[in-house]
């Protein structure tokens, strides 16, 4: 029997449960948690470290599942999301709800029992933030949805650091601010080119409500405090030159791309719109900066 036939007979298989966790987005979320943990001045036992990262991955995946459980109706209206397991009818909502609540509870309890209560508490806050504050409360109500709700995705570096140290400190707080302030340019760059999808679904994303021009300006404006948060750890003496120089160069490039988006600069032979380039670069940027902060702290400790 072919795989295609098999999935017709058993509509929801493991791939659908995996899809509920938004695995591609969550790789970066988990990576920021891992680097937050590696940047901490206290080494963590490898087994505990692995458990903490597993808990972040489970918590993030569970939050993404509950997000899709709540907004299956919205996802059905958008081309980008219509083929997800719930809107496509491959899974019933109750299975998704049970999976999401079960895995969320498991992640927080395991983090609390095996690692520490501080990390477990921040993990719980980030899950609740994504599901309740962003998905249930803000997403359908205000174009500021991702500015406030986006904080959910900024917690993992704090969770990773807290897993190793049991507390929070200035460096992971700045890393939180970096992801928090990075989220609006990251998301609005994408929203500029999937605007019609959101308009059709009635989601008040900034380009739909305030227009393209305004969104472009907002992307440029948010890049300024984001750049400050990105570079600040170096002059504050929290990291060395490895991170400082990497962050400075890559942030300049980020700012140049954001400026292109803000000024709407695209020549006719420009196959890729500046907003597409900024969106793609935003992901690479965060991966490299977090890799650099972990490498920098590791060098300093060795």
Sites of contact with ligand HEM (CB under 6 A): 22, 24-25, 28-29, 32, 134, 146, 149-150, 153, 179, 183, 186-187, 190, 283, 286
- Nearest residue (CB) to ligand FPP, 75 versus 296: 75
SS (H, E, C) 134-188: HHHHHCCCCCCHHHHHHHHHHCHHHHHHHHHHCCCCHHHHHHHHHHHHHHHHHHH
Contact status: 29 vs ligand FPP (CB under 6 A): yes
Contact status: 115 vs ligand FPP (CB under 6 A): no
The rounded distance, in Å, linking the Cα atoms of 50 and 68 is: 27
59's contact among ligand FPP, ligand HEM, none, with CB below 5 to 8 A by partner kind, is ligand FPP
Q: How far is the CB of 22 from ligand FPP (least distance, A)?
A: 5
Contact status: 86 vs ligand FPP (CB under 6 A): no
Tokens of 140: 């359908």
- Nearest residue (CB) to ligand FPP, 99 versus 130: 130
Residues 125-164 that bind ligand FPP (CB under 6 A): 126-127, 130, 139, 152-153, 155-156
Do 29 and 284 meet the contact criterion of CB atoms below 8 Å apart? no
Binding site for ligand FPP (CB under 6 A): 22, 25, 29, 56, 59-60, 63, 67, 81, 123, 126-127, 130, 139, 152-153, 155-156
């Amino acid at each position: 029997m072919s795989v295609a036939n098999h999935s017709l007979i058993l509509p929801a298989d493991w791939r659908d449960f995996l899809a509920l966790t938004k695995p591609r987005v969550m790789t970066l979320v988990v990576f920021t948690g891992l680097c937050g943990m590696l940047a901490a001045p206290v080494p963590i036992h490898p087994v505990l470290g692995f458990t903490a990262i597993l808990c972040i991955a489970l918590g993030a995946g569970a939050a993404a599942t509950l997000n899709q459980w709540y907004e299956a109706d919205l996802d059905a209206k958008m081309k980008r999301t219509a083929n997800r397991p719930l809107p496509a009818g491959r899974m019933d909502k109750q299975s998704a709800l049970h999976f999401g609540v079960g895995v969320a509870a498991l992640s927080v309890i395991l983090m609390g029992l095996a690692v520490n209560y501080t990390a477990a508490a921040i993990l719980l806050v980030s899950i609740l933030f994504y599901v309740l504050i962003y998905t249930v409360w803000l997403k359908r109500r205000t174009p500021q949805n991702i500015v406030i709700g986006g904080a959910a995705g900024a917690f993992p570096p704090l969770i990773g650091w807290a897993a190793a140290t049991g507390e929070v400190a200035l460096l992971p707080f700045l890393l939180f601010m970096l992801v928090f302030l990075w989220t609006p340019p990251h998301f609005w760059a994408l929203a500029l080119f999937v605007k019609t999808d959101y308009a059709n679904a009635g989601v008040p994303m900034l380009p739909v409500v305030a227009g393209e021009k305004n969104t472009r300006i907002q992307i440029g404006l948010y890049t300024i405090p984001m750049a400050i948060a990105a570079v600040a750890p170096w002059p504050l003496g929290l990291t060395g030159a490895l991170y400082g120089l990497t962050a400075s160069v890559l942030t300049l490039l980020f700012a140049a791309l954001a400026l292109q988006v803000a000024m709407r600069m695209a020549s006719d032979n420009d196959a890729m719109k500046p907003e597409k380039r900024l969106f793609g670069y935003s992901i690479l940027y965060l991966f490299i900066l977090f890799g650099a902060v972990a490498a920098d702290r590791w060098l300093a400790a060795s």
